[in-house]
Amino acid sequence: MSASGSTAAVPAAATELPALPLSWAPRRNRLVLLPASALLVVVFVGMALLLPASWQLNDRILLTMLGLIFAGVGLMLARPRVDADADGVTVVNFVRTRRLQWAEIVRVNLRQGDPWVTLDLADGTLLAAVGIQPGGGHEQAVRAARGLRDLAEAHGAAAEPAGA
């Protein structure tokens, strides 16, 4: 399935474009991961402080560091989002962030079974846009992918020179 979903595609010109700036992020993931990361820090620091006196300082420090590492992983997993504005799209994935101009996006894909949206780029590469994923709700992801597709088609075509 492409961004148009399994139903018949509606031409982009016939739909109203979403208002910019716009941001998509897996909200349920953040709702779980952010408090869980904070809780991990509190639990591990609490354990380090409440350990018996026979535990050494380096054990306590290591336990605290372990809690911070686990929380860091949780924060990294909560990071993905896709931000669109008049100039282009910023794709924030787990580790990397990439800024794209509208004309660089050739196609927006969300096929059946895909874990997230992928963007076909003008240079022939694919870019995962993890911020739009069906795990938080299939219909919501399809709407977001369609909105991004419509914006890319409208702004990408407007950015191309008339003779191209």
pLDDT tens digits along 48-86: 999 998 999 999 999 999 999 999 999 999 999 999 999
Q: Is 129's pLDDT higher than 50? A: yes
DSSP state at residue 79: -
| Stated pTM of the model | 0.77
Query: Per mean pLDDT, which range of 23-27, 49-53, 133-137 is the poorest?
Result: 133-137
The reported pLDDT for the residue numbered 158 is: 56
* Rounded Cα gap, residues 147 and 3, in angstroms: 9
Name the average pLDDT for the chain.
Answer: 86
- Could you tell me the pLDDT band of residue 164, with boundaries at 50, 70 and 90? very low
DSSP state at residue 141: H
Amino acid letter for position 147: G
Cβ-contact 22, 147 below 8 angstroms: yes
The reported pLDDT for the residue numbered 157 is: 63
CB-side exposure of 137: number of CA atoms within 13 Å? 9
